[in-house]
Amino acid sequence: MERRPGGEANIRTGEKVMTRPRTHPIRRYRRRALALALLGGIAGLTLLAPWLATADPRHAVPADQWLAPSAAHPFGTDHLGRDVFSRVLYGGRQTLAMGLLALGITLGPGLVMGLVAGYAGRWVDRALMTVMDALLAIPSLLLALALIVVLGSGTTQAALAVGIAGIPVYARVTRAAALEARALPHIEAARSIGVRPVGILGRHILPVIRPVLLSFAGVTFGWALLNGAALMFLGYGGDIAAPDWGVMLAGAREAFRSAPWAAVAPGVALSLTVFATNLLASSFNGSRASK
Amino acid sequence: MTFGVIGVLALVLCLAAVIFLVLVLQDDSESGDDGNRIVYGLTLNPSGFDPHINASNELGIPFFSVYDTLVYRHPQTMEFVPGLAEEWSMADNGLSWTFQLRRDVTFHDGDPFNAQAVAVNLDRITNPDIPSQKARGLLGPYTGYTIVDDFTITLELSEPYAPLLDALSQVYLGVASPKALSEYSKNTYQWHQVGTGPYRLDEVVPGDHIILKRNKDYAWGPVFYAPASDQSLDTIEFRFYEDAPTRSLALEDDQVQAIGELLPADAERMIGNPALRVVPVPIAGMPQQFFFNTQRAPTDQLAVRQALLYGTNRTAIANAVFQGQSPVAYGPLTSVTPFYDPVVETKYPYDPDFARSLLQGIGYQDSDGDGILERDGEPLTVRITFAPWNQMVDVAQLIQSQWRELGIEAELDLVSNFPDLIARADSGEYNLIGRYDFGVDASIITPYYLSDGLNNWSGYSDGELDDWLREAVRQPDPAMRAQLYKSVQGRIMDEAVILPIREYVNLNGTTARLDGVIFSGQGWWPLLRNFQLTQ
């Protein structure tokens, strides 16, 4: 692919179009390192929860309700006298696990449908994308809520609902990228000499669109975390005593004015995780591999 | 391009002018001749507001003051006092009640009140096409009426029915204008209700607000209604505040001047605020409680049920979840309910060691050291089903935590609404289920404890208890009824049919400018006639 400063050739029409100057690679890698450090730190803390936690996250001590942060309770206690610090640590496990599960559910079908639609074109593309477009008309959280009604409540069901609700967007993005890549000269060449579609998709198209897919997977993970937490907040997680950031926010909401710490801790943890995820996603942007 | 900047500026100015005008005009209309005006916050938007049809307690907050009832309960003594009926008498066989009606009453639409009007209302309530969710049930064995003369009506019963006056004192049996009832359908009447009460319905925007205006001709109120004064409320607007944390905010910002069902923590904080007042109103009837499923293991064993009662620290729950603003409940009736028997308070003190020994006595032991008791390899697990209202979510979690220390695993099953709760009850897949009802007459508990009762969710069946419950409804003598309900309460607790948690207290909040804030004997419904707005 030919590159000129301040612009590049549209791969399909050959017209020169303006593009955003790319982030300098060094800055991008620094951003990625920061994101990975943040995410790694959060994941590490939650994994080490059994050793770091100062109390049983489910143990209620009604007499200790709404204690302000102190040495004994670094993040204070909640409305049932449970240690917020321990609950945030354990809560990350469930929240992150749900996000990962949802991401996996989104990526598989989303990727396959997007690639097939983008590569095959014609009626396959039209049929798949009509369905995806219809689903896209519904906000993903609403779609997840509708799915919960069918699937029933529970953490796995919630993750499943969030994952399925994310498929249309991911398929859409993959398809757009595949469509663009299909027109690249070396891929056209491969097609013309009769390389089988699976080979073209796997060996030629995927490597080209990988940065887009990775970047958008990051964004999807952020959404999955937020939507998952929203479902838990609304009480679709089944286990209402579970340490989980969404559940904690719901429980702390009613007393936010007298005991804000019970909501601030899981809120900051969730925001920080989503921030790190988005940072990671943006570090893939523009690092399009060229062969 | 030059037009662009000027055009945008002109547009902004025009918009500002329009907004200004709207604000000014709106201000004008609000300070019109509304007189003393308050906004009263409702805590939910019920599925319907027609007292003859719908069952929500919330509808009575506005409409208890739109209607009069034949009799009233005096809010302080709980005795029956004349309302639209000046006097009444029961036939010796208990099968008919005759009411002498007031002759000086007119409906808000000018129609005169008489025996014919009462008859039209009774016909409507018993009409199977309506169908009534609460009012018909309150009438019990009612079979019909006889109009003796213009101002005398006799109600007939198929068997003696002690709670009749209690039923007639509730908003659900408020007397509506026959003219209005005939003008509107059963679905639309709720937006055009006409009664004889101290306030008339002025405006309804469904889901948004309800406005009541003072009935200036009102001169036939019960003895506890205050006479009208300069400080009486002229206009009351009801608005909805369904989300509990927003209620205290609305009150503190003076968006509402009165509201019910504050969160306990908010009420606690408000007590120190001189601009506001917290008015806690205990509610008669059943406490916030769980029924044990006596048909499903392991709660089919009396010892397990009793162990769970001994092993629940209700004081800790009442303090943590309800900030000590609700008394702990010990039996099937709350302590403000007539015929309450305080002996239940001695029955199940918090005693975890005794609970453990009860369980040990029937063979439960932690044989594998996982902290959960087992018998024949079966862990001791109970399933608690409940709906999210009244802080049940927090109550259930505390119970779960307390029982875990006894070695009992509690599985929490939260359903999202009342129909789901009923579906769960029908399935029978629960060991405890949260359900309660409110009412001043102790007969409110009958359908919950009769062996074949409609709401017998415990599955408990006891012929002697059935006899007591039935006789207590037929028996007109209060002393006899008290004796029967004493036996009923004792038996229910001896057999550990329920796990009572706390007595229901409605935490109302008002601005300190409101005086005379008082509620009906049933607890839920404000006596708006007595409210005074001081400046």
B75 has pLDDT over 90 = yes
Interface of B with A in 146-165 (CB under 8 A): none
Q: Which residue has the tokens 């070695």?
A: B407
Question: Residue A3 pLDDT more than 70?
Answer: no
Residue B252 has what pLDDT?
93
Confidence bin at A86 (pLDDT 50/70/90): very high
* Interface TM-score (ipTM) > 0.90: no
Higher pLDDT, B263 or B28: B263
Q: What integer is the mean pLDDT of A226-241?
A: 89
Sheet strands (E) in B314-469 = 374-375, 378-379, 381-386, 409-414, 432-434
- The position carrying tokens 């938007």 is B45
- Would residue B368 be called left, alpha or beta, if left means φ above 0 and alpha means ψ between -120 and 50 degrees? alpha
Closest chain B C-alpha to A103 CA, distance in angstroms: 27
**Cα B68 from Cα B199, distance rounded (Å):** 10
B128 vs B20 pLDDT, higher one: B128
Please report the pLDDT score of residue B36 as a whole number: 93
Query: Could you tell me the domains of chain B?
Result: 40-282+507-533 (3.40.190.10), 288-503 (3.10.105.10)
- Quote the percentage of chain B above a pLDDT of 70: 96
**Quick one: average pLDDT of A18-39?**
77
B208 half-sphere exposure, CB direction, 13 A CA radius: 3
CA distances for B165 relative to A13, B115, B170, angstroms: 88, 17, 9
What confidence score (pLDDT) does residue B169 get?
Answer: 96
Q: Closest Cα partner for B436 from B180, B57, B72? A: B57
The full 3-state SS of A32-64, as one line of letters, equals HHHHHHHHHHHHHHHHCHHHHCCCCCCCCCHHH
In B, which residues are within 8 Å of A239 by CB distance? 412
DSSP letter, residue B48: -
Asked whether residue A7 carries a pLDDT value surpassing 90, the answer given is no
Contact B67, B201 (CB under 8 A): no
Nearest residue of A to residue B388, measured between CA atoms: A235
Mean pLDDT of B78-85: 96
pLDDT level of residue B277 (50, 70, 90 thresholds):
very high
Q: What pLDDT is stored for residue B235 in this prediction?
A: 96
Looking at residue A190, its pLDDT comes to 87
The per-residue pLDDT for range A266-282, each reduced to its tens digit, is 999 999 999 999 999 98
Of B278 and B34, the structure prediction assigns the larger pLDDT to: B278
Q: What is the pLDDT of residue B26?
A: 55
B292-302: b or e for each residue (b if 16 or more CB lie within 10 Å)?
A: bbbeeebbebb
Give the separation between CA A166 and CA B343, rounded to whole angstroms.
59
Q: Is the pLDDT of residue A6 over 70?
A: no
Q: For residues A43-54, give the mean pLDDT.
A: 93
With helix as H, strand as E and coil as C, how does B474-488 read? HCCCHHHHHHHHHHH
Closest-CA distance of chain A to residue B378, Å: 22
Whether a cis peptide bond, with omega within 30° of 0, leads into B163 is no
Return the higher-pLDDT residue of B45 and B66: B66
CA-nearest of B285, B284, B251 to B269 is: B251
Question: Residue B13: its pLDDT value, please?
Answer: 73
Contacts of A192 (CB under 8 A, 6+ apart): none
Question: What confidence tens digit (pLDDT) does each residue in B415-435 have?
Answer: 888 889 999 999 999 999 999
Locate B470 and state its tokens.
């039935």
pLDDT of residue B30: 47
Statement: residue B525 has pLDDT above 90: yes
Lowest mean pLDDT, pick from A62-66, A169-173, B13-17: B13-17
Q: Is B253 touching A (CB cutoff 8 A)?
A: no
Distance CA B308, CA B327 (A): 20
Query: Cβ contacts of residue B527 below 8 Å, gap of 6+?
Result: B64, B65, B75, B224, B225, B518, B519, B520
CB contacts < 8 A, A to B, total 57
The percentage of chain B sitting over the pLDDT mark of 90, rounded to a whole number, equals: 85
What's the pLDDT band for B373 if we cut at 50, 70, 90?
Answer: very high
> Which has the higher per-residue pLDDT, B403 or A283?
B403
Contact A240 B316 (CB under 8 A): no
pLDDT exceeds cutoff 70 at B4: no
* B67 and B196 Cβ atoms separated by less than 8 Å: yes
Check B396 against A240: CB less than 8 A apart. Answer: yes
A81–chain B Cβ distance below 8 A for any pair: yes
User: What is the structure's pLDDT at A17?
Assistant: 47
What pLDDT is recorded for position B425? 94
DSSP string, A204-225: IIHHHHHHHHHHHHHHHHHHHH
8 A C-beta contact, residue B446 and residue B473 = yes
Whole-model pTM: value is 0.84
pLDDT in tens, B241-267: 998 889 999 999 999 999 999 999 899
CB proximity under 8 Å: A 225-254 to B? 235, 239-241, 251, 253-254
Is any Cβ of chain B less than 8 angstroms from the Cβ of A154?
no
Question: A53-92 burial, b if ≥16 CB within 10 A, otherwise e?
Answer: bebbbbebbbebbbbeeeeebebbbbbbbbbbbbbbbbbb
Phi, psi torsion values for B223, nearest 5 degrees: -60, -25
3-class DSSP assignment, residue B258:
strand
The 8-class DSSP code of residue B521 comes to T
**Which tens digit of pLDDT belongs to each residue from B327-337?**
999 999 999 99
Q: How far apart are CA A75 and CA A265, in angstroms?
A: 7
Residue B162 near residue B474, CB atoms below 8 Å: yes
Query: How many C-beta atoms lie closer than 10 Å to residue B532's C-beta?
Result: 16
- For A9, other C-beta atoms within 10 Å of its C-beta total 14
- DSSP letters spanning B293-310: -TTSTTTTSHHHHHHHHH
Q: Is B269 on the interface with A (CB under 8 A)?
A: yes
Smallest CA-to-CA distance from B380 within B390, B389, B388, B370 is with B370
